[in-house]
Chains A and B, each alone.
Chain A
Amino acid sequence: EDQVTQSPEALRLQEGESSSLNCSYTVSGLRGLFWYRQDPGKGPEFLFTLYSAGEEKEKERLKATLTKKESFLHITAPKPEDSATYLCAVQGAGGSYIPTFGRGTSLIVHP
C-alpha cells in the first residue's frame, strides 16, 4: 500500500524567510510524485511532477526535489501570497492509476 507523510502539518514564516516542506513516501515503484497547492475554499492546483530520484523542478520561488524516500518543496524568500496548503501525492508503478495524497502542510507567510 502506498503511503505519504507530510511534515510539518503547519508552518509559519516571515516574509523572506526560506524553508522546506517534507514529503516522505513508500511506494512499490514510483510512476510519479506530485505537488499541488490548495488555497482556502478552492480545489488543489497542480504544481510539479517528479519522476525519478535526483530530479528537480522550479517555479518562481518554489523548487521541488526528489530522493528515493522523500521529496522536498523548498520555498525561497516567500511572500504572503505563497500562503496555502501544499499537498504531496505519489502514484505507484504497479498498474494503478490512483495517486495517494498526504494530509498536506499549511503554510502561512506573514508580511
Chain B
Amino acid sequence: EAQVTQNPRYLITVTGKKLTVTCSQNMNHEYMSWYRQDPGLGLRQIYYSMNVEVTDKGDVPEGYKVSRKEKRNFPLILESPSPNQTSLYFCASSHYTPSGANVLTFGAGSRLTVL
C-alpha cells in the first residue's frame, strides 16, 4: 500500500530533550515536506526537500532541523524542544507531474506535547 509513515504518532516530552520524528514514504517520491498544524493557524510548512541532499526552509523553520540522506526518509529533529513546539505534525510527499502541480500524500500525523 502506498503510504507515508510517521513515528511516533504520539509523544510527550520535556523541554530541552532532543527528539526525532521519523517519516518514510514507499512511493519513490522526490519531494517531501513537514508541516505543523495548530488550531486557528492551519497548516504551516516547516521544511521541505526537493530531492536527496536538497532541503530548504519553509514558513516556520525555527527550532527544527531536517536531513534527506535517502530518498524515502525525511526525519524532523527538534534539538531542544520548547512548549511552543507542542503541535500536530504532518509529513507529506509527492512526485513531480508533467503539469508541475504538487499533489501531496500526507502521513497520519504525530501529536507532540512538550512540557
Contacts and interface: CB of A to CB of B under 8 A. Distances in A.
B50 A46 contact: no
A31 B4 CA distance: 24
B11 to A, nearest CB: 15
B90 A43 contact: yes
A32 B105 contact: no
Contact of B107 (A43, A49, A101, A104): A43
Interface residues of A, number: 22
A69 B77 CA distance: 38
Interface in A6-62: 31-32, 34, 36, 41-46, 49, 51
Interface string A80-111: 00000001000101000111011110000000
Nearest to A9: B40
A46 B104 contact: yes
Contacts of B104: 34, 36, 44, 46, 99
Contacts of B50: 97
A41 B90 CA distance: 11
B73 interface: no
Contact of A101 (B4, B43, B108): B43
A32 B109 CA distance: 25
Interface in B34-48: 40-43, 45, 48
A44 B105 CA distance: 8
Given A101-B43, A102-B42, A49 B109 contact: no
B76 to A, nearest CB: 15
B77 to A, nearest CB: 20
Which among B50, B90, B92, B104 has the greatest number of chain A C-beta atoms within 10 A?
Answer: B104
Interface of A: 31-32, 34, 36, 41-46, 49, 51, 87, 91, 93, 97-99, 101-104
Given A43-B4, A98-B45, A101-B42, 6 more contacts: A31-B99, A32-B101, A42-B108, A43-B90, A44-B90, A101-B43
